[in-house]
């Protein structure tokens, strides 16, 4: 079977890498792909904000399965458009993707279905913000309602700061995008964050290995939020008892609620959780694989990914059991200095071959491109250096050894990925 993967990030590189290993897959095509994916796939041009270009490519290629990586084409309805043309596609419809596309939709859904989440208010103007802030204690969290690549969330220590953040979102100044019509104000939660991803077929949620992301740019979890600077996966992040709890109290009620409301959810339900002293609370839903969670999760997968995604498309996930390598995996992002603010691109990347010679290491490309045969930086997040091993300490040692062999002008990476787990289990 030929598989077509839409996207151009590290997540899609990892998906293409895992799909290429499947006995069922004869060819992987990535569109548009990036500088590194050509190692595992044929690349075809496509514009991820143009559903027609994606549908046309799928009709030309006639793949046995399409996998959609990023949120933007899901929000634009690419799954609906492909299904209408009879293409077998893994991912949620536009209506189901609302769980990610609109934070106000997701919060109201969570409340409607009594799924644990922080108290919140949806506001459409400064007056409503003022009103809502009266009901929250500092710190409070101000969120853009729409998609913002992980950068639309501001944690505010004072009411004044929260008002300013909301104003910045309404005016569009804060994100450099069109102004938001709505913002969500939320109570601040503290605890460990967990990314709990499930493959879904509308009825059954099949959990993937859980992971912990590090969203802040700075070591010690300081500075602005990013799309994710590094992640690790072990079985300890969510033990068997917690997995059952999360399925029963979060994943299954979500699938039942979406089905009952006429928008059954198929694809990856990414449940972002805060493990608070009063129990797990949903921070957010994403309607797709995480980046960089996917790089670390697939490094541990010991089952056939294509088979599992096909079962999700066919509504047979209740028959699938996934096997995971014991131990741990980690993925650390090398980014361009300046990210998540402005940064330069086009910097030559050196040392990848040497990095990949470290035992158990795979380097997934995020923002890279080939220019005149040379590999150069082409984004804020550039590479995801990934390794699996018997223990987290060993996985991280491999990642950082490989990272020390890579160089480009302005390279930045966090040296403390997994720090909480290592502190708890030295």
Q: Which residues bind ligand AMP (CB under 6 A)?
A: 118, 141, 143, 150, 153, 186, 188-189, 193, 215, 225, 272, 283-284
- Tell how strand 65-68 and strand 89-90 pair up: parallel
Query: Which option in ligand AMP, ligand GLY, none does residue 228 bind, with CB closer than 5 to 8 A by kind?
Result: ligand GLY
Neighbours of 413 (CB within 10 A): 19
Cβ 293 to ligand GLY, closest distance in Å? 6
What is the three-class DSSP state of 122? strand
The partner in contact with residue 290, picked from ligand GLY, ligand AMP, none with C-beta cut-offs of 5 to 8 angstroms by kind, is ligand GLY
Distance in angstroms (rounded) separating the CA atoms of residues 136 and 339: 31
- Tally of CB atoms within 10 A around 167: 17
Instruction: Report the nearest approach of ligand GLY to the CB of residue 232 (Å).
Output: 12
In angstroms, give the least distance from the CB of 70 to ligand AMP: 15
Q: Which two tokens stand for residue 364?
A: 């997934």
**Distance separating alpha carbons of residues 390 and 329, to the nearest angstrom:** 9
In this complex, which beta carbon is closest to ligand GLY, that of residue 91 or of residue 150?
150
Q: Which is nearer to ligand AMP, 215 or 405 (CB)?
A: 215
- The residue among 81 and 153 lying less far from ligand AMP, judged by its C-beta, is 153
Q: Which is nearer to ligand AMP, 107 or 300 (CB)?
A: 107
What's the token pair of residue 203? 């009825």
Residue ranges of alpha helices (H) inside 204-356 are 240-246, 252-260, 293-300, 305-313, 352-356
Give the one entry of ligand AMP, ligand GLY, none that residue 291 binds, where binding means its C-beta sits below a cut-off of 5 to 8 angstroms depending on kind: ligand GLY
Nearer to ligand GLY, 246 or 376 (CB): 246
State the binding partner of 257 from ligand GLY, ligand AMP, none, CB within 5 to 8 A by kind.
none
Min dist CB 335 to ligand AMP, Å, is 17
| Distance in Å, CB of 153 to ligand AMP, minimum | 4
Nearer to ligand GLY, 170 or 339 (CB): 339
Output the smallest distance, CB 176 to ligand GLY, in A.
19
CA distance 84 to 131: 45
DSSP assignment, residue 19?
H
Alpha-carbon gap, residue 406 to 76, rounded angstroms: 37
Least spacing, CB of residue 231 vs ligand GLY, in Å: 7
d(CA 393, CA 15): 25
Which single residue brings its beta carbon nearest to ligand AMP?
A: 284
Please state, in angstroms and rounded to a whole number, the distance separating the CA atoms of residues 230 and 215: 8
- Select from ligand GLY, ligand AMP, none the partner in contact with residue 186, using the beta carbon and a kind-dependent cut-off of 5 to 8 Å: ligand AMP
CA 4 to chain centre: 19
Q: How far is the CB of 213 from ligand GLY (least distance, A)?
A: 5
**Which lies closer to ligand GLY via its Cβ, residue 35 or residue 290?**
290
Residue closer to ligand GLY (CB basis): 76 or 375: 76
| Two tokens, residue 342 | 């402005």
Q: What is the pairing mode between strands 120-123 and 42-43?
A: unpaired
- The helix/strand/coil state of 307 is helix
Phi/psi of residue 330, nearest 5 degrees: -150, 150
What residues make contact with ligand GLY under the rule CB under 6 A?
A: 150, 213, 227-228, 286, 290-291, 293
């Amino acid at each position: 079977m030929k598989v077509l993967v839409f996207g151009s990030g590290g997540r899609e590189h990892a998906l293409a890498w895992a799909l290429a290993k499947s006995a069922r897959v004869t060819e992987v095509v990535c569109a548009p792909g990036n500088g590194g994916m050509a190692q595992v796939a044929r690349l075809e041009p496509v514009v991820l904000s143009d559903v027609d270009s994606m549908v046309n490519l799928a009709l030309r290629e006639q793949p046995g399965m399409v996998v959609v990586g990023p949120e933007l084409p899901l929000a634009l309805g690419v799954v609906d458009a492909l299904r209408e043309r009879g293409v077998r596609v893994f991912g949620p419809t536009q209506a189901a993707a609302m769980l990610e596309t609109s934070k106000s939709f997701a919060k109201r859904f969570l409340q409607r279905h009594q799924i644990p989440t922080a108290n919140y208010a949806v506001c459409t103007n400064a007056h409503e913000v003022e009103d809502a802030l009266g009901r929250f204690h500092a710190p409070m969290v101000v969120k853009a309602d729409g998609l913002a690549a992980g950068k639309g969330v501001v944690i505010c220590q004072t009411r004044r700061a929260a008002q300013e953040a909301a104003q910045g979102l309404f005016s569009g100044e804060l994100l450099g995008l069109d102004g938001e019509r709505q913002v969500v104000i939320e109570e601040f939660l503290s605890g460990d964050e967990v990314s709990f991803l499930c493959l879904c077929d509308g009825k059954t949620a099949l959990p993937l290995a859980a992971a912990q992301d590090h969203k802040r740019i700075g070591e010690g979890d300081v500075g602005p939020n990013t799309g994710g600077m590094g992640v690790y996966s072990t079985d300890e992040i969510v033990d068997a008892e917690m997995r059952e709890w999360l399925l029963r109290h979060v994943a299954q009620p979500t699938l039942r609620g979406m089905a009952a409301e006429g928008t059954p959810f198929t694809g990856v339900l990414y449940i972002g959780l805060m493990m608070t002293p009063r129990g797990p609370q949903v921070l957010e839903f994403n309607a797709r694989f995480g980046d960089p969670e996917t790089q670390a999760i697939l490094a541990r997968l010991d089952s056939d990914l294509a088979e599992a995604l096909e079962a999700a498309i066919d509504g047979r996930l209740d028959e699938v059991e996934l096997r995971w390598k014991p131990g741990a995996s980690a993925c650390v992002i090398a980014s361009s200095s300046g990210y998540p603010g402005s940064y330069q691109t086009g910097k030559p990347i050196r040392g990848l071959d040497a990095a990949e010679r470290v035992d158990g290491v795979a380097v997934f490309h995020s923002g890279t491109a080939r220019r005149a045969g040379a590999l150069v930086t082409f984004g804020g997040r550039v590479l995801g250096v990934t390794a699996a091993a018997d223990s987290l300490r060993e996985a991280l040692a491999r990642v950082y050894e490989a990272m020390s062999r890579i160089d480009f002008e302005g390279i930045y990476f966090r040296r403390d990925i997994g720090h909480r787990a290592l502190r708890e289990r030295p």
